[in-house]
Amino acid sequence: MKPWRTPLDIDKHKLPHYKIYIIVDRCKGCSFCVEYCPKKVLEMSEEFNIKGYHPPFPVREDQCVGCDLCELICPEFAIYVLKDEEEPEDKIKMNVENAIGEPEGDKESENEQSKDKIKT
**Domain spans of the chain?**
15-83, 89-119
Q: What pLDDT, in 10s, does the model give residues 14-66? A: 778 899 999 999 999 999 999 999 999 999 999 999 999 999 999 999 999 99
Q: Which residues of 72-92 are buried (b: 16+ CB within 10 A; e: fewer)?
A: eebeeebbebeeeeeeeeeee
Which pLDDT tens digit goes with each residue over 75-120? 999 999 999 876 555 555 555 555 555 555 455 555 565 555 565 5
Dist. CA 79–CA 19, nearest whole Å: 11
Q: What is the pLDDT of residue 4?
A: 76
Q: What pLDDT is attached to residue 85?
A: 78
Q: Into which CATH architecture does domain 15-83 fall?
A: 2-Layer Sandwich (3.30)
